[in-house]
Amino acid sequence: MAPQTIEKLLRKVQNGTCTEDELAAFHEWMAEESNKSDVADYVKDVWQNIDHQTDFESETDKSKMWNEIETKLHLTTEAESPKSKFTLNTGFLMRVAAVILPFIIIAAYTYYQRNNSSIADNTTFRTISTEKGMKKWTTLPDGSMVYLNSNSSISFATNFLEGEERIVKMEGEAFFKVQKLEDKKPFKVIAPKTVVRVLGTSFTVRALAKNNKEYIAVLTGKVNVATDKQNIDLLPNEMVEAGEQNLEKVAFDPNEMFSWKDGILYYKNASPDEVWNKLENWYGVEFRFEGKPSTQKEFSGIFRNEVLANVLEGLSFSAGFDYKINGKIVNIHFK
């Protein structure tokens, strides 16, 4: 890919105008290169040679933008560490469980039978996760791309392509862009309440631990969402809500489900608790409150790659509070 093309792409990422097709084309080019670190160095050289004289107020701002570009273009090389891999030996687990918790074996067997999947002895898994304040692109062995939102995780077998299905387990929130294979091998996402089956498409799954409902929204293609008792097909711009009892198609705001993957913090008619929870996850901070708000009004806002202080500055006028940021602790004092 020529330097001029790279520069144009970097400018679009910087300005927030880069399309998914352009990102996909870049990732396809990067996948064809034998050495990913060389690609990253090449892109960084192009970035450093761009005239940024009027783009940033300080080197800190410039460095922050480069970090965002690295994440957006998936340039960081993830080294597999003992923390991100684990080996599950079912023979050992069965000997232990037979002594202390025999029902665990029954529950695990039932779960995997329901999802038509099994775990062989010594199967090795890879887990990729994010903490609060982090987001991360990752590419699966089949070329599918997953963008993890804050405080989320996915796991998949290292022999991902050897089974009859491509299976990914997840918690939290993630956007999937699934690669369609010539052998039409199905792609399955297992969330705590639902199973999503696709061939090639893009969609968001939201399965937050603190919420007793899950949401699956489709951007492109077609997916099938299933529970033990029900299944529903979804087309682009459709979303299903999975409760304790049933699946139901519901109206939704696409910005609310998809804009986060483009670095846009978005909330509409949100309660104060929803706003604080979203900001804690987005920026990786903890809020501490003094006093009580004078009103429980709803809030709406849209921020593109903004620092926390700018977001709080806007909220403080309408919600009536002062704030002080001390590292990862943010004190809110209601007037």
**Per-domain boundaries in the chain:** 3-72, 85-256, 263-334
Q: In the structure encoding, which two tokens stand for residue 71, read together?
A: 């994440």
Own/partner contacts of 103-110, CB < 8 Å, gap of 24 or more, are none
- How many other C-beta atoms are found inside a 10 Å radius of the C-beta of residue 69? 18
- How many other C-beta atoms are found inside a 10 Å radius of the C-beta of residue 287? 14
What topology does CATH give the domain 85-256? Jelly Rolls (2.60.120)
Integer CA distances (angstroms), 26 to 40, 64, 149, in order: 12, 21, 21
Contact 321, 335 (CB under 8 A): yes
The vertex-333 CA angle with 319 and 132, nearest 5°, equals: 85
In the chain, how long is the greatest CA-to-CA distance?
A: 68
Residues in Cβ contact with 53 at an 8 Å cutoff, skipping those fewer than 6 apart? none
Residue type, 335: K
Collapse the DSSP code of 312 into the 3-class scheme (helix H, G, I; strand E, B; otherwise coil) and give the result. helix
Strand partners, 175: 147, 204
Which is nearest to 207 in space by CA: 221, 220, 219, 189?
189
Query: What integer pLDDT is reported at residue 107 of this predicted model?
Result: 44
What topology does CATH give the domain 263-334? Phage tail protein beta-alpha-beta fold (3.55.50)
Strand partners, 128: 154
d(CA 22, CA 110): 43
With residue 273 as reference, give the H or E element that holds it: helix 272-283
First to last CA, the chain: 55
Query: What integer pLDDT is reported at residue 76 of this predicted model?
Result: 64
- 263-334 matches 85-256 in CATH topology: no
Q: Tell me the pTM.
A: 0.63
Query: What integer pLDDT is reported at residue 5 of this predicted model?
Result: 79
Query: What integer pLDDT is reported at residue 180 of this predicted model?
Result: 86
Which segments of the chain have a pLDDT < 70? Answer: 1, 29, 32-38, 51-54, 56-57, 76-122
Query: What integer pLDDT is reported at residue 205 of this predicted model?
Result: 96
Which is nearest to 78 in space by CA: 124, 112, 116, 126?
126
d(CA 239, CA 204): 9
- How many residues in total does the chain contain? 335
